Structure 1
């Protein structure tokens, strides 16, 4: 793991050299392939005192590297305008290093440190390269929601250290801490990060104000930090979780249904995609909280699938935004007339978003529905509604943007360029090809 870290640290000077924009992206893609070729065992591999990598870390680190390289690819506009490009690249590299460390450290406190640290580059992305003046407010929402919930987590970590004199993930699995306050303090931070319904308000705000790269990293990886943290801390909170998990599951299922309905009220494309992320993550929270085998792996697959799919949809929204300078559904109409080829990509990513085969989302959703049904058959009602409406708002977004009368205020226009098609292909291909080697994820 150290060699990957050194690779990324030594890439930082590249960010400051002239005309190195695409070179940084190429190096990141190369890193993704190097990391992919590390041998994946069933347990922990590359294990040392500080770093280790098991299957969940492996998938999420790979996703982080992949999305970060695609973030550079989608932000060509900054490169054209020369809008603080070097600082932008530095920001992405720092974010990637922090994410890599978050997913690969073995120590609970180090995990907390990097978990919170990854907030800072994201905040800089939103405030530095966002579009509207409200981005400061969105940044504050992001900071205060996540920090407010993370302080109890820090207290909980200190308590664990005092109790068992260790913070290694490995040793924690031998303990069972049956304390309600500890449980709430440990779990709340991750539920806000996911985000769970009721504490989700920061997410649509942040997405709408963020530049395309900020949205990609938020949807692609930031939401997955919460799921990853839950999978790690519920190991030593099993008994108390079995008593209290119904609370989170009920909130998540009802919230997922409400949010799905709310998607139909959105007029901002980015806002709609952001709310759909909340709906997807609500099923993931339920699957993790049920604490059975199907839920564990289903949530993992869903997190990987949603990371690629949501990120790709934000790219599509941005491609439209660069043409029309508006994210309103009333202005983004009749796109099929202008960009017929792009319409295909809208269709492909929308179909993945509504969990159509052969996407990872389908497999994740089936596993999660399985796990929920084994917990209680009553959850079937909400799951049915969430699945149905997720197809509904995906179709709503697709038909609204692609069909209809075109907006006559447009004065110049051009079809997609090869960079954009490649960008969308690199989102869609892993999402639909990885189902062929799904036995890696469903061990």
Structure 2
């Protein structure tokens, strides 16, 4: 693990060299392959002292973080070509990646909290420094305060836990008698980060104002921090979770359905994809809260699948935006005539978004449906509505953007460049090939 962190540290001076943008990006791809090969045959927990370590739960999420950060640089070619402080942009991404790797590899609950919060700062810089509109300041404030309001009670909960257990290392934490207040303090920060319906307003705002790299990291990794935190913390909260988790399952099922309806009336491409993330994450929350094996496996699988799929959709929305200078569905319609080659990618990623085979989303959703229906058969009503409308808004996104009469301002056919096709392919291939090793994924967890 230390060699990964040191490699990232030594990439920071390289990013200040002249024309080093693509060099750093290639080094990040190299880092992802080194990391993948380091632990490919190892099923043991890799521990470095009491501070950093990595088990098979964090392996997939660290690999996803490195992969998405490499693709973020590939997608942000505009920043490099127009030289919008590209050196600082690269340093920001490297610092963000380092914070994420340290978050996922922390064995101590306090260190996890520390890096969990620290990852917010580079994200905020991305939105405020390279966002599009003046409203990005408001979006940054929403992101900061929603997260902080949820996190401060959690910090108090961590101190209370240390006072009772005399340890914060995940393996040693155990408490017999829990208070309801402690349960809410420990869980609310993760529910806001997911985000759960009712505390989700920061996400569409942040996505719409963020640059493409900000949207990719928010959808691909930052939402997964909440799920990962809950997977870690629920070992302590198990006894109270059996009594109280029905609250979150109910809110998430109702909220997932309502957000799906909200998606159907969006005319902003990025806003629609952002709201669809809330809908998918509500399923993950439901699976986690059932406290069953299927929910545990399914939530982890869907988190990785959604990270790749949602990030790819944001890339597609950005490609349309770069050519038409608008994110509106009313202007970006008839794209099949304007960018015919991109229509295939829109179809492939929209179908993955609605959990069509052979995507990883399908595997995750089947597991989650199993666990939630097993928990309570009444949930079938909301689950069926959620699944139906999930397909409906994905079809709405695809058909409204690709079909219809071409906006009169666009008159020539303009297909994507090789960089864009490669970017989309590197999202789609892992998303659809990982399902072939689904037996190993289940064994890992």
TM over 0.5: yes
* Residue number in structure 1 paired with 2:65: 64
* Residue number in structure 1 paired with 2:109: 108
* Residue number in structure 1 paired with 2:431: 431
In structure 1, the residue corresponding to 2:172 is in which secondary structure? helix
Output the CA distance in 2 between the equivalents of 1:209 and 1:160.
38
Alignment of 1:11-410 (within 5 A): 11-40=11-40, 41-172=42-173, 174-410=174-410
Deviations along 1:244-272, one digit per CA (max 9) or x if unpaired, are 00000000000000000000010100000
C-alpha contact (below 8 Å) 1:204/1:271 kept by paired residues? yes
Output the CA distance in 2 between the equivalents of 1:177 and 1:403.
59
C-alpha contact (below 8 Å) 2:309/2:353 kept by paired residues? yes
Output the CA distance in 1 between the equivalents of 2:47 and 2:85.
37
Output the CA distance in 2 between the equivalents of 1:177 and 1:68.
42
Deviations along 1:72-103, one digit per CA (max 9) or x if unpaired, are 00000011101100000000000000000000
Output the CA distance in 1 between the equivalents of 2:74 and 2:241.
42
Q: CA deviation at 1:411?
A: 5.7
Aligned length: 442
Output the CA distance in 2 between the equivalents of 1:103 and 1:278.
22
Structure 1, gaps ≥5 residues long: none
Q: CA deviation at 1:176?
A: 3.5
Q: CA deviation at 1:336?
A: 0.5
In structure 1, the residue corresponding to 2:52 is in which secondary structure? coil
Output the CA distance in 1 between the equivalents of 2:120 and 2:186.
18
Structure 2, gaps ≥5 residues long: none
In structure 2, the residue corresponding to 1:171 is in which secondary structure? coil
Output the CA distance in 2 between the equivalents of 1:229 and 1:126.
24
In structure 2, the residue corresponding to 1:52 is in which secondary structure? strand
Deviations along 1:19-51, one digit per CA (max 9) or x if unpaired, are 000000000000000010122544523453211
Output the CA distance in 2 between the equivalents of 1:235 and 1:48.
22
C-alpha contact (below 8 Å) 2:339/2:413 kept by paired residues? no
Output the CA distance in 1 between the equivalents of 2:387 and 2:30.
37
C-alpha contact (below 8 Å) 2:253/2:282 kept by paired residues? yes
Deviations along 1:162-221, one digit per CA (max 9) or x if unpaired, are 11111101101x434421111000000000000000000000000000000000000000
More displaced, 175-184 or 332-341? 175-184
Cα distance change on mapping 1:164 and 1:228 into 2, 3 Å:
same
Output the CA distance in 2 between the equivalents of 1:22 and 1:191.
37
TM-score (norm 2): 0.98
* Residue number in structure 2 paired with 1:414: 414
More displaced, 403-412 or 301-310? 403-412
In structure 2, the residue corresponding to 1:131 is in which secondary structure? coil
TM-score (norm 1): 0.98
Output the CA distance in 2 between the equivalents of 1:211 and 1:146.
20
Q: CA deviation at 1:413?
A: 5.8
Q: CA RMSD in A?
A: 1.0
In structure 2, the residue corresponding to 1:235 is in which secondary structure? coil
Q: CA deviation at 1:15?
A: 1.2
C-alpha contact (below 8 Å) 1:359/1:431 kept by paired residues? yes
Structure 1 residue ranges, 4+ long, deviating more than 6 angstroms after superposition: none
